Amino acid sequence: MSAQQRDPSAITVQTALRDAATIVDVRSPAEYAKGHVAGAINLPLFSDGERAEIGTLYKLLGRERAIATGLEFLGARLPAFVQFFEPHRGSAIAVYCARGGMRSAAVAGLLSALGFRVTQLPGGYKAFRNHLLSVFEQGLPPRLIVLHGRTGVGKTEILNRLDNSLDLEDCAQHRSSLFGAINLQPRTQQQFDAQLLAVLDRLEYAAPVWIEGESRKIGKVIMPEALRKAMQRATCVLVTASLESRVDRIVAEYGRADQATRAQCEGALRGLTIPLGKKRVEEMIARVRADDYRPVVEALLLDYYDPRYEHSMRNNRYALTVSSDDPGQAVHALRALARGLSTPQARRDVRREGLAG
């Protein structure tokens, strides 16, 4: 059973989204960019400028004048607007705006009159956000297994091989380090929240859920406080790897020979001037400019990341240690651990032996 199905108070929002084959956000591009339902298509009824003008008219001259102006804006492009929906005729469509008001009501009414199967999302994006926050407070997975390990050991690679896993870095589109945004487009907090909700809705809560150990912040986004506390109580697993394979993995992911990547790496390195010293950072930057990433990565692991990891994880106790140098064997051992933890007696043993974090 999914997180959304556990929340009777939000059943109208859940039902509309669950049953829709296509979800359409008719808010302005700026509203959509800030945050939207995961998977929703933006088909703005008005541009950002038009929305601002209509809002001003509503405040100064009243509702009727605002509606009349809105119809003028929409009139010329209405045929193309309707045409967008033609490929979706016959499938269920959910439409929403900010609060389930005039914009989505107008679109839903028009499409319904044209024979489309359409639902207006009750309460709009605001209701979706309220539902999302309630799930984060009350509907999180009851049993987590957290993968810990030094930078570059391949926790994400292992996580992606496991069923029923939650990849917070993928939700954030950030690798949760100073270099974590390189060649990615990090999500806003609202985008992260919506993506996290979509992933939670696909998980099977009757089985343990795999997750990678993260700090409270992943780039600039913050994970739900209830999830952070649940991770602190969870069963912990330590993933290890040789220094050589860690360097190999990081160079393969980050070490692209293009100017954009070099520039991003250089910017991140300059953020380490205080802990590493200006001279050493400049030496690293020179190597990056020459596409000589390997010595830079090794130095960062040994002198920056590893000491900080050991300090932050010093109080952890682990139910299992696996090596990612053989990912297949590691995944096999982890699945065996999950099967064992699925029994009530095993869960009691883990708690009694103090292995849960």
- In the chain, the domains with their CATH numbers are 4-134 (3.40.250.10), 140-352 (3.40.50)
The CA–CA distances, whole Å, from 245 to 97, 107, 254, 308 equal 48, 54, 14, 20
The single residue of 97, 171, 236, 265 carrying the catalytic annotation is 97
> What is the rounded CA–CA span in Å between residue 11 and residue 177?
37
> Could you confirm whether 236 is annotated as catalytic?
no
Q: What is the pLDDT tens value at each position of the chain, 357 positions in all?
A: 344 344 433 347 888 888 899 999 999 999 999 999 999 999 999 999 988 998 898 889 888 888 888 888 888 788 888 999 999 998 999 999 999 988 899 899 999 999 999 999 989 999 999 999 999 998 889 999 999 999 999 999 999 999 999 999 999 999 998 899 999 999 999 999 999 999 998 999 999 999 999 999 999 999 999 999 999 999 999 999 999 999 999 999 887 889 999 999 999 999 999 999 999 999 999 999 999 999 999 999 999 999 999 988 888 899 999 999 999 999 999 999 998 887 654 444 444 433 333
Task: Output the CA torsion sign for 333, 339, 342, 343.
Answer: negative
Q: Is 108 exposed, middle or buried (0-12, 13-18, 19+ CB in 10 A)?
A: buried
pTM strictly above 0.75: yes
Chain centroid to CA 90: 31
Q: Are the CB atoms for 126 and 98 separated by under 8 Å?
A: yes
- Other beta carbons within 10 angstroms of residue 266's beta carbon come to 15
Mapped onto helix, strand or coil, the DSSP state of residue 338 is helix
Consecutive H or E run containing 42: strand 41-42
